[in-house]
Chains A and B, each alone.
Chain A
Amino acid sequence: MRRVVITGTGFYSPIGDNMADLRSSLEQMKSGIRFMGEWDSVNGLEARIAGVVPVSDFSEIPRAYRRTMDRVAMMCALSLKRAVAQSGLDAAHITAHKTGLSFGSAMGGLETLFEYAEDVSHNSGFGRQNATAFLRFMSHTVAANLAVMFGVIGRNIPTSSACTASSQAIGAGYESIKYGMSDVMLVGGGEGLHYVEAGIFDSMGATSIGYNDNAQAASRPFDISRSGLIVSEGSGALVLEEYEHAKARGAVILGEIVGYATGCDGSHITLPSERGMEQVMRDALYDAKLNPEDIGYINAHATATPKGDIFESIAVHRVFGHNTPISSIKGYTGHMFGGGGAFESIVSLMALNESFLPANKNLETIDPACAPLDYIRSHRETQIKAVMNNNFAFGGINTSIIIKKI
């Protein structure tokens, strides 16, 4: 069976865009969530805080590519550029027939879409619209734009399953290599921040609204005082490569993806199911040929919604019992939606390679309704052999990724 390794990563997040800043934020338990004064004029919005990537200059991307990119595609493009640079893959490798791409986001280019819709409705109609607007907001804008910018001619698999968009992209890349369709897959995803996301989750009662004046304390996975998720933005990119392909060119191998599963609850459109979550974790372990005790750290999805965290903890308890260290990093970042899966896989990789298990930020009192687990309260320096990264999305779509040291 062909093995799949990771040879490069890149990301943008509210807590850093490089490994040193990321680690420092996690060590100091510093969140990237802030009050959004710029949302003052949005009528009826209750959630007023968000995780923001403090970057606005993307001029590093040539205009010919940038003209059809919204913020989400630009963050993904530069994340991928860094990942490719780290991997050492040259242009000939990237443009080879068996190099493919899989990237996703929950919403496509939301900022452009809303500007476009407003302009069509209230100002210009369709008479004076840019030809490039649709290419910036379409649901597969990230995958389409990145393929053009990097010259990818292999398979291109866009994903758009909200909170599992980029974890499914990793899975698609892993399976493409494992089953011989590709030698290299460029994978990941992202999300650009827009107030409409906060409004959407407000309407469902899923946003945290009790901490508008205390952003650092707002995102509280597994804590009894949690009241919902914080919308945020960011991106993550990984270079996946067939093991022999990487070895032959002397690449530095960061880790091996040994297990992946995706599954569906098939029950409720928003309410998660512990049965579905349990199933996807068991399926990933089966794929990895590992036992639960082989996993040294679980990077939880846990968005700090009242029900989601409980169901997830119960599912984890059913599979692992109570001894496996677990944390959600959404206490630092908020919910990066389409970027979360890839970014959290990069954090999982850091846990594996730096023996650094991040703590659950703002976990003061564990919700007694959550199952008894080894919730990490302050970060640990622990050597581990394998990590599991879980993500769960609306529609009951679940993913579980297992990464192992090589």
Chain B
Amino acid sequence: MGSEVFKRVQEIIVEQFEKEPSDITSDKLLVEDLGLDSLDMFDLICALEKEYGFHFEREMGSSIATVGDIVGQLERNINKE
């Protein structure tokens, strides 16, 4: 069972990139495992910004490699607020 944030990230990736929910686990690499490219990464961040209402700094992008990295970033931002 993942967190609420994980579930929402999973839903967004499934919807946006037409993936199967079972493909989306915390350890999955966004590029190598899920096949996202640079345009997809921007669009994913855009969707998450709309969903959670805050701005991802560009440098944060370089520290995101897995689904779990995204969830971690989001949870840290949510906890800050």
Residue A43, interface by CB 8 Å: no
Residue B55, interface by CB 8 Å: yes
B64 to chain A, nearest CB (A): 15
Of the candidates B18, B35, B50, the one whose C-beta lies within 8 Å of that of A128 is: B50
Q: What CA separation (Å) do A135 and B42 show in the bound complex?
A: 14
Given known A63-B17, A63-B18, contact A130–B43 (CB-CB < 8 A)? yes
Chain B residues 35-81 with CB under 8 Å of chain A are 35, 38-40, 42-43, 46, 49-50, 55
How many residues belonging to B are interface residues under a CB distance threshold of 8 Å? 12
Given known A63-B17, A127-B49, contact A132–B43 (CB-CB < 8 A)? yes
Q: In the complex, which residues of chain B have a beta carbon less than 8 angstroms from the beta carbon of A135?
A: 39
A127 to chain B, nearest CB (A): 7
Chain A residues 122-141 with CB under 8 Å of chain B are 124, 127-132, 135
Q: What CA separation (Å) do A135 and B55 show in the bound complex?
A: 23
Q: What CA separation (Å) do A135 and B38 show in the bound complex?
A: 14
Residue contact B55 to A67, C-beta cutoff 8 Å:
no
Q: What CA separation (Å) do A67 and B38 show in the bound complex?
A: 13
Q: Which residue of B lies closest to A124 (CB)?
A: B50
Residue contact B55 to A132, C-beta cutoff 8 Å:
no
Residue contact B49 to A128, C-beta cutoff 8 Å:
yes
Q: In the complex, which residues of chain A have a beta carbon less than 8 angstroms from the beta carbon of B39?
A: 67-68, 131-132, 135
B19 to chain A, nearest CB (A): 9
Q: Which residue of A lies closest to B18 (CB)?
A: A63
Q: In the complex, which residues of chain A have a beta carbon less than 8 angstroms from the beta carbon of B18?
A: 63
**Main secondary structure on B side of the interface with A:** helix
Q: What CA separation (Å) do A127 and B58 show in the bound complex?
A: 12
Q: In the complex, which residues of chain B have a beta carbon less than 8 angstroms from the beta carbon of A128?
A: 46, 49-50
Of the candidates B35, B40, B55, the one whose C-beta lies within 8 Å of that of A127 is: B55
A75 to chain B, nearest CB (A): 20
Q: What CA separation (Å) do A135 and B40 show in the bound complex?
A: 13
Residue contact A131 to B17, C-beta cutoff 8 Å:
no
Q: In the complex, which residues of chain A have a beta carbon less than 8 angstroms from the beta carbon of B43?
A: 67, 130-132
Chain A residues 64-86 with CB under 8 Å of chain B are 64, 67-68
A279 to chain B, nearest CB (A): 45
Residue contact A130 to B46, C-beta cutoff 8 Å:
yes
Q: In the complex, which residues of chain B have a beta carbon less than 8 angstroms from the beta carbon of A127?
A: 49, 55
Of the candidates B17, B38, B46, the one whose C-beta lies within 8 Å of that of A129 is: B46
Given known A63-B17, A63-B18, contact A131–B42 (CB-CB < 8 A)? yes
Q: What CA separation (Å) do A85 and B73 show in the bound complex?
A: 47
A141 to chain B, nearest CB (A): 14
Q: In the complex, which residues of chain B have a beta carbon less than 8 angstroms from the beta carbon of A130?
A: 42-43, 46
Q: In the complex, which residues of chain B have a beta carbon less than 8 angstroms from the beta carbon of A63?
A: 17-18
Sorted nearest first, the 7 A-B pairs with minimum C-beta distance are: A131-B42, A63-B18, A131-B39, A128-B49, A130-B43, A128-B46, A128-B50
Interface residues of B (CB under 8 A from A): 17-18, 35, 38-40, 42-43, 46, 49-50, 55
7 chain-A/chain-B pairs, Cβ below 8 angstroms = A63-B18, A67-B39, A124-B50, A127-B49, A130-B42, A130-B46, A132-B43
Given A127-B55, A135-B39, output 12 extra A-B contacts at Cβ < 8 Å: A68-B39, A124-B50, A128-B49, A128-B50, A130-B42, A130-B43, A130-B46, A131-B38, A131-B42, A131-B46, A132-B39, A132-B43
